[in-house]
């Protein structure tokens, strides 16, 4: 007997018909003698709809009261967990729904992107050992003051891994609408191919660089707690082959490529601050203000300007935080001391990821050459030990992905 966590994303529970299919997958695990905790996302499209309502009610104020944002957007998961528990009950299975606070899933107070701090799991474990299926709301937790918090978009992946770690599950299966992790987004590059295994480290980079198949924090948590993580499709018929992708330690992978995956993130905006005084403390003032506003700054370049006493700064922030960023910078223009400010959200960050880069020279050259041959201009570059990212015009996203996929020899062989 094993203890299993199964996570179902929005499209997997997008209708009553899909929920019935999910109930069948849960039943199969129970019939194999396993204890089952299920994490569900809101039904497809629901969270987007709720976010839009919140924005409308808040009159598009960039400094929205995030406590109320969480109160509203967390509700989609309550619907899907209740519906799945009902469906399981209707087919004669013992099951009940649990919200974040009922578990309880304790988090920090940072509404909209809270982090899980601890999960006292004894009540949940008791229900599982009693033979009940626990259907838990993903994405939500409870903050120190008792208010509902949410874990950031795509957060149900993290809820699933955190529950798996808390109940010491034997595996955590992430069911989604693709049959595993691919070399790049299969919806954009048809020649992308499925990876049977990927290391935690590469998956972590790919997730943080935009491969939304897993939320970044979920991979980080799986890596720390050594949770065996599998990504697989919920859209297959019971009893058919559904191997998916195993996220595991690097040494479990026999053959590694220099580049394992290519990602893109459209949720990027470029900010340029011109004529900043070139003196110690300026970067600290800018990024200190942004950090205090909980804005994540990503790529940063400081350029030399024509003047000896002034400099220019370019950096990127999530597109969703651009308005807030501009409002923070404009209201502190005198304090920071800059001449002008501009921004562009028609940009995309494209990254190549692979542990093989550590021991292989020339990876950057291949990337720059391939993009140059297609006339794609690179605006900002950032590198780490196992990734190279470039910021380019959004219009070239698909061309860049396809070009790099071929350049690194990742195209699937023709059938």
The contact set with ligand ASP (CB under 6 A) reads 9-10, 41-42, 47, 76, 138-139, 153-156
- Partner touching 181 among ligand ADP, ligand ASP, Mg ion, none, CB below 5 to 8 Å by kind: ligand ADP
The one of ligand ASP, ligand ADP, Mg ion, none whose footprint includes residue 115, by CB under 5 to 8 A per kind, is none
Q: Judged by CB under 6 A, which of 70, 132, 173, 185 binds ligand ADP?
A: 185
d(CA 256, CA 231): 19
Taking the C-alpha atoms of residue 201 and residue 224, their distance in angstroms, rounded to an integer, is 11
Cβ distance 182 to 195 under 8 Å? yes
**Applying CB under 6 A, which part among 26-34, 83-91, 206-214, 329-337 lies near ligand ADP?**
206-214
With CB under 6 A, what is the number of residues at the site for ligand ADP? 19
Residue 14 binds ligand ADP, judged by CB under 6 A:
no
Out of Mg ion, ligand ADP, ligand ASP, none, what residue 139 binds, judged by CB under 5 to 8 A for its kind, is ligand ASP
Could you tell me how many residues make up the chain? 415
Residue 67: alpha-carbon gap to chain centroid:
21
Closer by beta carbon to Mg ion, 9 or else 141: 9
Does position 161 interact with ligand ADP (CB under 6 A)? The reply is: no
Nearest partner of 75 among 5, 159, 150, judged by Cα = 150
Partner that binds at residue 133, options ligand ASP, Mg ion, ligand ADP, none, CB closer than 5 to 8 Å by kind: none
Find the shortest distance in angstroms from Cβ 211 to ligand ASP.
14
Q: Which of 47, 81, 184, 389 binds ligand ADP (CB under 6 A)?
A: 184
Of 5-13, 85-93, 142-150, 164-172, the segment contacting ligand ADP by CB under 6 A is 5-13
Among 127, 213, 258, 357, binds ligand ADP (CB under 6 A): 213
H/E run at residue 86: helix 75-90
Report the residue number, 74 or 176, with the smaller CB distance to ligand ADP.
176
Nearest in space to 137 (alpha carbons), one of 103, 107, 112, 170:
103
**359-378 residues near ligand ADP, rule: CB under 6 A:** none
Q: Please, are residues 326 and 221 in contact by the beta-carbon 8 Å criterion?
A: no
According to the binding rule CB under 6 A, does residue 389 interact with ligand ADP? Answer: no
Contact flag: residue 154 with Mg ion (CB under 5 A): yes
Nearer to ligand ADP, 247 or 282 (CB): 247
For residue 138, the partner it binds in Mg ion, ligand ASP, ligand ADP, none, with Cβ less than 5 to 8 A by kind, is ligand ASP
> Which residue, 156 or 316, has its beta carbon nearer to ligand ASP?
156
Reduced to 3 DSSP states, what percent helix, strand and coil does the chain have, rounded to the nearest 5?
A: 35, 25, 40
* Cβ proximity of 333 and 314 under 8 Å: no
For 360, the token pair is 């292989």
β-pairing, 245-248 vs 197-199, is: parallel
Q: What is the CA radius of gyration of the chain?
A: 23
What is the nearest approach in angstroms of ligand ASP to the Cβ of residue 318?
14
Q: At what angle do helices 75-90 and 66-73 cross, to 10 degrees?
A: 20
Beta carbons of 363 and 309 less than 8 angstroms apart: no
Taking CB within 5 to 8 Å according to partner kind, which of Mg ion, ligand ASP, ligand ADP, none is near residue 104? none
Helical spans, DSSP H, in 309-393 = 322-331, 333-336, 363-373
Cβ count near 304 (within 10 Å): 10
Structure tokens at 145: 């003051």
Q: Is the peptide bond before 104 cis (omega within 30 degrees of 0)?
A: yes
Least Å from the CB of residue 156 to ligand ASP: 3
* Separation in Å, CA 114 to CA 144, 209, 312: 11, 20, 33
199 binds, among Mg ion, ligand ADP, ligand ASP, none (CB under 5 to 8 A by kind): none
Q: Which is nearer to Mg ion, 41 or 312 (CB)?
A: 41
Closer residue to ligand ADP in complex, CB, 80/184: 184
- Establish if 212 lies at the interface with ligand ADP (CB under 6 A): yes
- Binding to ligand ADP in span 40-59, by CB under 6 A: 41
């Amino acid at each position: 007997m094993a203890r299993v966590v199964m996570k179902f994303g929005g499209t997997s529970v997008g209708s009553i018909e899909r929920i019935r299919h999910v109930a069948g997958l849960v039943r199969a695990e129970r019939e194999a003698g396993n204890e089952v905790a299920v994490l569900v996302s809101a039904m497809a499209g629901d969270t987007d709809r709720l976010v839009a309502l919140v924005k409308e009610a808040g009159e598009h104020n960039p400094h929205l009261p995030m406590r109320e944002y969480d109160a509203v957007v967390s509700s989609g998961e309550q619907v899907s967990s209740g519906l799945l528990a009902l469906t399981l009950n209707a087919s004669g299975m013992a099951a009940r729904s649990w919200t974040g606070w009922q578990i309880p899933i304790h988090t920090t107070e940072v509404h909209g992107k809270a982090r899980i701090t601890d999960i006292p799991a004894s009540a949940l474990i008791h229900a599982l050992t009693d033979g009940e299926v626990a259907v838990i709301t993903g994405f939500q937790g409870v903050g120190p003051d008792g208010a509902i918090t949410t874990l950031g978009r795509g957060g149900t992946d993290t809820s699933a891994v955190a529950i798996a770690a808390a109940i010491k599950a034997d595996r955590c299966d992430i069911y989604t609408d693709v049959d595993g992790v691919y070399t790049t987004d299969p919806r954009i590059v048809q020649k992308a191919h499925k990876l049977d295994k990927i290391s935690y480290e590469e998956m972590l980079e790919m997730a943080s660089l935009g491969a939304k198949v897993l939320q970044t924090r979920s991979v980080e948590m799986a890596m720390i707690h050594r949770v065996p993580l599998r990504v697989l499709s919920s859209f297959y018929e019971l009893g058919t082959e559904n191997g998916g992708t195993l996220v595991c330690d690097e040494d479990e992978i026999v053959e590694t490529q220099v580049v394992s995956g290519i990602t893109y993130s459209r949720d990027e905006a470029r900010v340029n601050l011109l004529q900043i005084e070139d003196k110690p403390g300026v970067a600290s003032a800018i990024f200190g203000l942004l950090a205090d506003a909980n804005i994540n700054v990503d790529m940063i370049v400081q350029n030399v300007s024509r003047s000896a006493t002034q400099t220019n700064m370019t950096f990127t922030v999530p597109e969703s935080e651009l308005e807030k960023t501009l409002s923070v910078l404009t209201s502190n223009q005198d304090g920071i001391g800059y001449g002008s400010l501009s921004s562009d959200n028609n940009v995309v960050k494209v990254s190549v990821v692979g542990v093989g880069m550590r021991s292989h020279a020339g990876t950057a050259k291949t990337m720059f050459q391939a993009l140059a041959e297609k006339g794609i201009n690179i605006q900002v570059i950032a590198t780490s030990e196992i990734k190279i990212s470039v910021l380019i015009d959004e219009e070239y996203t698909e061309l860049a992905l396809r070009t790099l996929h071929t350049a690194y020899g990742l195209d699937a062989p023709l059938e």
